[in-house]
Amino acid sequence: MSKRLKTILLLFILVLVVIIIGNYIHLFLTKRDINYPNKDTYSKIDKNNLSILIEVDKKQLSIIDLSSNKIIKNYVVATGKPGTPTPLGTFKIIEKARWGGGFGSRWMGLDVPWGKYGIHGTNKPGSIGFNASAGCIRMRNKDVEELYSIVDYNTIVAIINGDYGPFSHGFRNLRPGDRGADVMEVQKRLKMKGYYTGALDGIYGEGMKYSLIQYLKNNDLPLTDIIGHQIYEKLGIILMD
């Protein structure tokens, strides 16, 4: 065997040894960093006892174990812009999918009756922590992937924003075609008073308009299809400090 061939063979063996040793070192360091007593924490939790709380004002999503009433995980999120606010209320996860693009690596759709909203990842991680979305709850991809693996279909998702429930985004003049938790609250009040008989879907449609007009007629109020401060007050919807 020539000297040159021996040198090449020796170098090949040395490279192979370095690769093998490097793999062993990597495995050792990886195993050393794993907290084995806690590494199966999420797999041991009963997914039927989990719920999600999203606090819009704090830009925070929490996973809550209902069996112990303890928060087991918190994430920072982005929520809706002022013109496209995040829906407030209590919903369920009805979709789970692996999307891409602006929705990041995971999507969890909610059963919001007045529109398509969900919890999803993002290709704009710098937006996390701000009012930046079209109403959805936006998470970092690594966070939404973890959440996706922890929660299941029909998980309850409660979305709040301070102390004023569906009016935490403030009072607005409601007009036919408007949608939101505030519309649904007006529907509830009209239903309680025996005027509205339609679905509580948060959509200001013709049925809600008809019931509003009947309510105004019977209470000697000016007829209008715009729900403003006077009607809110008459319906008993008042924000207290």
**Stretch 237-241: mean pLDDT, rounded?**
68
Same domain flag for 89 and 148: yes
pLDDT of residue 101: 87
* Residue 33 is assigned to a structural domain of this protein: yes
State pTM to two decimals.
Answer: 0.74
Distance CA 23, CA 16 (A): 11
Q: Which of 112, 135, 162 is the last residue of a domain?
A: 162
Options 26, 136, 169, 229, the catalytic residue? 136
Answer for the pair 137, 119: CB distance below 8 angstroms, yes or no: yes
Same domain, yes or no: 28 and 127: no
pLDDT in tens, 39-68: 455 556 778 899 999 999 999 999 999 988
Indicate whether 2 belongs to any domain: no
> Does 21 reside within a domain?
yes
The answer to whether residues 103 and 79 belong to one domain is yes
Pairing state between β 60-65 and 89-97: unpaired
First to last CA, the chain: 93
Q: Does one domain contain both 80 and 153?
A: yes
Average pLDDT, integer, range 9-19: 62
From 26, 120, 169, 229, the catalytic residue: 120
136 is catalytic: yes
Q: b/e per residue, 225-234, with b = 16+ CB within 10 A?
A: eebeeebbee
pLDDT on residue 20: 65
Can you read off the two tokens belonging to residue 58?
């704090």
- Give the DSSP H/E element, type plus range, for residue 182: helix 181-192
Q: Does some domain include residue 1?
A: no
Same domain membership, residue 129 and residue 56: yes
Query: Tokens in use for 168?
Result: 């935490």
* 120 in catalytic set: yes
Confidence of residue 14 (pLDDT cuts 50, 70, 90): low
Judgement on whether residues 66 and 148 belong to the same structural domain of the protein: yes
Q: How distant, in Å, are the alpha carbons of 58, 60, 140, 141, 181 from that of 123?
A: 22, 19, 8, 8, 28
Output the pLDDT for position 167: 75
Q: At 119, which CATH number?
A: 2.40.440.10
- Chain mean pLDDT for the chain: 86
Shared domain check, 157 and 58: yes
Statement to judge: residues 120 and 24 lie in one domain: no
Residues 210 and 128 in one domain: no
Which of the pair, 200 or 20, is modelled with greater confidence?
Answer: 200
In order, the DSSP letters of 85-150 are: PPP-EEEEEEEEE---GGGTT-EEEE--TTS-EEEE--S-GGGTTSEEESSSEE--HHHHHHHHHH
Q: What is the pLDDT of residues 105-148, one digit of tens each?
A: 999 999 999 999 999 999 999 999 999 999 999 999 999 999 99
Q: Are residues 76 and 139 in the same domain?
A: yes
Does residue 76 share a domain with residue 175? Answer: no
Q: In degrees, to the nearest 5, what angle opens at C-alpha 93 toward C-alphas 59 and 151?
A: 80
* Helix boundaries (H) for 1-104: 3-33
Residue 239 lies in a domain: no
Whether residue 38 has pLDDT greater than 70: no
For the cut 60, the answer to whether the pLDDT of residue 37 exceeds it is: no
**What is the domain range of residue 192?**
168-234
pLDDT band at 100 (very low <50, low <70, confident <90, very high): confident
pLDDT of residue 46: 76
Q: State yes or no: pLDDT of 73 exceeds 90.
A: yes
CATH number at residue 196: 1.10.101.10
User: C-alpha 14: how far from its chain's center?
Assistant: 53
Out of 86-90, 118-122, 169-173, pick the least confident. 169-173
Q: Are residue 57 and residue 157 in the same domain, yes or no? A: yes
Angle at the Cα of 175 from the Cα atoms of 195 and 87, rounded to 5 degrees: 90
- Number of structural domains (the chain) is 3
